[in-house]
Amino acid sequence: MNIFYKICLLLLINSFACHSQIFVRAYHYRPTGDFGSVFKPGFSAEIGYMPKFEERLRVCVSATYMVMKPRRDAFPIVGIQQGTKTVILPGEDRFDKYNLLHLFAGIDVAIIKRKKFFAYLGTDLTVGVGSVDSRTEVKTLISEGYSGGGGIAGFRGRIGLQYNLTDHIGLIAHVNRTGYILTEPRTVNWFNDYGMGVRYHFGYR
Amino acid sequence: MKKYFFIWYIGALGLFLYSSCRKALKNVDDYLPKVHIVSAVIQNDGSVLVTGEIDSPGYSTVEYAGFCCNTVSQPDILNRQAIADVNGSTFTAVYQNFDVDSVYYFRAWATNDQGYAYGTELSLNQIIAPPVTPACSLVINKLDNGTGNATPYYAWVSAPVYSSQFWQFSALPQGQNTLYFKFGSQVTTGIYTTDDDHDPAAGHVFVEFNVGGSYRYLEPGTQVYVNTIGTDTFDITICNAPWKVGTSTTFSLNTRFQCPY
């Protein structure tokens, strides 16, 4: 979490320094696929750099931090003991921590470009880190804990709308879909998010 | 050039957004299989045939389904675990060896790649097979081996002992030689068939005794009636069971006794 705050601070300082444009977006995320069977939907925020559309293309950079909450305190799992007789051994998986820091960098391409209103498609590359604490227990077979994490690499696709209220302030709405690989423990995760935010231009147009 | 870039861009984005887009299920329990017990029926041999049904496989196909059983409610999956034979959405398993005085709780369970879940529970008490009616009516503790030397009672009868997949006991009639009984399956209420194999199959029994210094046995094919009359106590009747001395002389044995006695 500290890394996230530092990145946000850096983005903010940079925005002031170069009379740039930042955005803050609150969003609701929904894990899908196997990821969705384990973690609850939740809320988070994203902060980043988002210039105005000079042409149809703009480059965006942002960061977000997600604290994933498991859908159960303990997930019932089984172990199979093969021998003269097969025995199904009961067990459980617990996730005490599953936090993700994503850094995004990508482009928005305006499909509709009016004076105040823009509709656009966006794609990002994402890198980051995941921090995971988990525990697996299967009676007489497995008793192991995991504490650590790994790197994140993936993509994000986006449909976005922007409406400029003034020369300085604009409203944005994004629907994103993100897919990424977490290197340790190795998983491929997907989630959708839906959110609205504010884009602010510190300098003069 | 710009046009082609846009087409490629929108196509690639659409493909990416669509991939792995399986919506999470609203209820987390829906990822796990859902099963319930249909019936638990006491069979003629005193075993219990338990039948379950898969209501939903959950997020993926069912890998294993079965039952657990205990004398306390809500048995754990490891309590007398029985992995069932799954046939379509129905699965069955057979339980044996019950204490007549206990209540038994049966609970269904199933697994898929998301984990396992329990189903409903069903209880049975006084698990005892329906009594069998012998073809003849004899006085208890009497042996008539057909040689004209009927004996009025047994001196003692041992309790069945399990050894190497067989249940064995012996019975000593007053003034005669011991009869040895070897059952191919557990002794419980039911009708067994005599066998000339020293290692009888399930449902069969080998009966041997000494006459005139030689061991004889009951010819195969005769019915042996066993009724459970208490905890590990049985009433056993054999009607008109042929046995031979040599190849031609045939006698007929009739007996009824309590085991153990």
Residue B186's φ and ψ, nearest 5 degrees, are -60, 140
Average pLDDT over chain B, rounded to an integer: 88
Helix (H) or strand (E) holding A38: helix A33-38
Collect all residues from B whose CB is shorter than 8 A from any CB in A: 6, 9-10, 12-13, 16-17, 19-25, 28, 31-32, 59, 64, 66, 76-78, 81, 83, 109, 111, 114-117
Q: Is A86 part of the contact surface with chain B (CB cutoff 8 Å)?
A: yes
DSSP letters spanning B192-233: EEE-SSSSPPTTEEEEEEEETTEEEEBPTT-EEEEEEEETTE
Q: How far apart are CA B57 and CA B45, in angstroms?
A: 33
d(CA B66, CA B79): 11
Q: What ipTM does the predicted assembly reach? A: 0.79
Please report the sign of the dihedral spanned by the C-alpha atoms of residue A46, residue A51, residue A52, residue A53: negative
- Tens digits of residue pLDDT in A48-77: 999 988 888 999 999 999 999 999 999 999
Rounded to the nearest angstrom, the minimum Cα separation between A196 and chain B is: 19
The whole-model pTM stands at: 0.71
Answer yes or no: do B83 and A88 touch at CB < 8 A: yes
Of A37, A109, A155, the CB nearest to B16: A155
User: What amino acid occupies position B216?
Assistant: R
Q: Which helix (H) or strand (E) holds A142?
A: strand A142-164
Q: Give the pLDDT confidence of A165-184 residue by residue, as tens digits.
A: 998 899 999 999 999 999 98
**Rg of chain B over all Cα atoms, to the nearest angstrom:** 29
Q: Which range (A11-15, B30-34, B51-55, B244-248) has the least confidence?
A: A11-15
**Token pair of A21 as six digits:** 């444009």
